[in-house]
Amino acid sequence: MVVLGAAGVYRARANTVAEVPFSDLLRAVEDGTVSAVRASGDRVHADLTDGRAIATTAPQGYLAANGETMTALARRGVRIEIDTTNQRVLSILAMLLVASIVGLVGFTAWRTTTGRIPSVTGHSRRASQGSDTVTFDDVAGVDEAKDELREIVEFLREPGRFVSLGGRIPRGVLLVGPPGTGKTLLARSIAGEAGVPFLFASGSEFVEMFAGVGAARIRRLFRDARRHGRCIVFIDEIDAVGRSRGNQTNSHEEREQTLNQLLVEMDGFEGHGGIVVIAATNRQDILDPALLRPGRFDRQVTVGNADVKGREEILRVHARSIAVEPDIDWLRLARGTPGFSGADLANVVNEAALLAGRAGRKAVTQADLEGARDKVLMGVERRSLQLTARDREVTAWHEAGHAVVAAVLPHADPVHKVSIVPRGRAMGVTMQLPDTDRHTYTRDYLETQIAVLMGGRAAEQLFLQVETSGASNDIERATAIATHMVCDFGMSPLGPLAFRRRDDAAAARAGFSDDTARKVDDEVQAIVARGMERAARLLDERRTGVAAVAERLLEAETIDADEILALVGEPVAQV
């Protein structure tokens, strides 16, 4: 910017005078019409006696080699000025450029050595022991994991009781589980229960493009931990630095150096006394075997999604921080949130508080909690979306087909609510909530799920004689279930065999014959076709009920389970 500015000023100054050939300047000198001359390098500016100003460029070295020209001008009384401003400006610019380069090099060196190494002893890298201290009472839904970790708490509290028996403290604990299940919260609760310092870092903080930085940060982390004696070091998302070595496609020398340093610090020649390393990941399969061996991560604790009882406890824990009505049925809400993680349940409680505040209520009600649950499950209601009468009619019959099939088939999850109010990308929603958590699936249940999914398309064909794109997601999900039944669960005439699917990376290398692929495709198609036929036959038998549900949806937009059962009638034994 300085160079461009100086050049601009110079050009602006040069443009104020007329540019002439050097011969014209010499002719003006001979004629005696030059009153003043300013020389700057090879540039010459001359003021003429008639008031004009001219400028020209002398041949390189001409002025220095022809001193008699300047002498002749002086004898004629011409004022001569030698301008060295440009040389001074260039010198200053050169000094600034050198200083900038030196500063940049020094700043880069500082960042790569001490400036960017994370300090875990400061306030920003150590969990404060105060009002926000977390204990086991603040963690719910993971009772087995808490029981597994109580020994570590006891050892940190009273290490002498175990050392006198010859026992040693576990070096590390690996918390494994899907996102949002409370792995970080569980690690903080251990520190809160034991009353020891809690140092934490993220796995990505040890991965840098500069050689040696990651290993230096690992050394700094454990050096600071040793100053505290007994403490907990928590590394979140350890898979960022602990990936398995030797994979040629993902080999990275700097990351491997960092991992080697971590392995040495956890179990090397130098012991670390009462330091417990707790790490969290949801990608245990990619971790290096040397990291998982006993002596480093001695225990691997699985932190999964909670069951109905655990979800109820989690909801009650999160509800401590908000004002709620005393008659809240937490068990009913927990049964309506199958598969929700702790983070999802916290989001439900927070959304309920926001809904209550938006409505001007002083406490959260059951309706607020269920509305928040529906929002998290199905998306935000898009009441501003204007649908045509035809679109509303098609959506109502489509959702009525889903609802009737789900309401009358014996192995289907109970219908909770049906709505034709657009939510997210869906024009309508049929919400089913299981009575209990399912961990295994029978063939009857999966075939019933396919029939429920195909109920929307069957209703369109039977009652409206159309086929719409609204069934695309239903068809995709039904095909996925049928594919799992054939390829993974052995629920087809092909027998109990595992067939690699096309989306499996290993299948691209191993594969199977074209004849087998055709048989797999035929079986998937047959399963979906049977589900479609089953749904169509049932809806044809319950035409009155389907029409009643569709008309009620067009009138009220949302109906609940009791109203659906009243309109449809009793479930059937088998279809």
We report the CATH number of the domain holding residue 326 as 1.10.8.60
| Domain identity same for 229 and 128 | yes
| Residue 63 or 435, more confident | 435
Q: What is the pLDDT of residue 532?
A: 94
Digit-coded pLDDT (tens) for 490-509: 898 888 888 875 555 444 44
What positions carry a catalytic annotation? 399
The count of structural domains within the chain is 4
pLDDT band with cut points at 50, 70 and 90 for residue 119: very low
Q: What is the pLDDT of residue 562?
A: 84
Tokens standing for 464? Answer: 């409206």
Q: What is the pLDDT of residue 27?
A: 78
Q: What percent of the chain has pLDDT over 70?
A: 80
| Domain identity same for 214 and 298 | yes
Asked if residue 525 has pLDDT above 90, the reply is yes
Q: What is the pLDDT of residue 557?
A: 84
| CA pair distance 453, 532, nearest whole angstrom | 9
At residue 564, the 3 state secondary structure works out as helix
| Domain identity same for 542 and 516 | yes
Q: What is the pLDDT of residue 68?
A: 58
| CA pair distance 503, 128, nearest whole angstrom | 47
Q: Is residue 573 part of a domain?
A: no
Q: Span 233-249, mean pLDDT?
A: 76
Determine the residue type at 106: G
Q: Is residue 574 part of a domain?
A: no
Lowest mean pLDDT among 1-15, 131-145, 467-481: 1-15
Q: Is residue 112 part of a domain?
A: no
| Domain identity same for 359 and 406 | no
Lowest mean pLDDT among 5-19, 301-315, 324-338: 5-19
| Domain identity same for 372 and 249 | no
pLDDT band with cut points at 50, 70 and 90 for residue 12: low
Asked if residue 553 has pLDDT above 50, the reply is yes
Q: Span 198-227, mean pLDDT?
A: 78
Compute the 3-state secondary structure of the chain and give helix, strand, coil in percent, each to the nearest 5: 55, 10, 30
At residue 118, the 3 state secondary structure works out as coil
Q: What is the pLDDT of residue 435?
A: 74
Domain that holds residue 359: 308-378
| Domain identity same for 195 and 63 | no
Asked if residue 82 has pLDDT above 80, the reply is no
> What CA–CA distances, in Å, run from 450 to 13, 72, 86, 219, 528?
83, 107, 84, 55, 7
Q: What is the pLDDT of residue 536?
A: 93
Residue after which a domain boundary falls, among 255, 286, 302: 302
Q: Is residue 187 part of a domain?
A: yes
* pTM of the predicted model as reported, rounded to 2 decimal places: 0.65
Q: Is residue 523 part of a domain?
A: yes
Greatest mean pLDDT among 43-52, 347-356, 381-390 lies in: 347-356
pLDDT band with cut points at 50, 70 and 90 for residue 122: very low
Q: What is the pLDDT of residue 110?
A: 66
Asked if residue 428 has pLDDT above 90, the reply is no
Tokens standing for 536? Answer: 């169509």
Q: Span 149-162, mean pLDDT?
A: 77
Residue after which a domain boundary falls, among 83, 111, 140: 83
Average per-residue pLDDT in the chain? Answer: 79
Q: What percent of the chain has pLDDT over 90?
A: 10
Q: Is residue 164 part of a domain?
A: yes
| Domain identity same for 51 and 159 | no
Lowest mean pLDDT among 56-65, 71-80, 245-254, 411-420: 245-254
| CA pair distance 500, 509, nearest whole angstrom | 10
DSSP for 389-458, written as a single string: HHHHHHHHHHHHHHHHHHHH-TTSPPEEEEE-S-BTTBS-EEEE--SS--SS--HHHHHHHHHHHHHHHH
Q: Is residue 179 part of a domain?
A: yes
pLDDT band with cut points at 50, 70 and 90 for residue 523: very high
Q: What is the pLDDT of residue 507?
A: 46
| Residue 426 or 6, more confident | 426
Beta 53-57 vs 231-236: how paired, if at all?
Answer: unpaired
| Domain identity same for 399 and 460 | yes
Q: Minimal CA–CA distance to 545: which of 572, 514, 510, 573? A: 572
Asked if residue 70 has pLDDT above 70, the reply is no
| Residue 456 or 1, more confident | 456
Task: Look up the CATH number of the domain holding residue 477.
Answer: 1.20.58.760
| Domain identity same for 362 and 435 | no
| Domain identity same for 363 and 414 | no
Task: Report the side by side order of strands in the sheet with 415-419.
Answer: 429-432, 415-419, 558-560
Q: Is residue 101 part of a domain?
A: no
C-beta separation of 462 from 539 below 8 A: yes
Q: What is the pLDDT of residue 481?
A: 94
| Domain identity same for 136 and 285 | yes
> What CA–CA distances, in Å, run from 179 to 176, 237, 344, 453?
9, 10, 10, 28
Determine the residue type at 431: M
Q: Which helix (H) or strand (E) holds 174?
A: strand 172-176
Q: Span 400-421, mean pLDDT?
A: 88
| Domain identity same for 345 and 397 | no
Tokens standing for 251? Answer: 């080999």
Q: What is the pLDDT of residue 454?
A: 93
Residue after which a domain boundary falls, among 268, 302, 336: 302
Lowest mean pLDDT among 26-30, 133-137, 156-160, 208-212: 208-212
Q: What is the pLDDT of residue 135?
A: 80
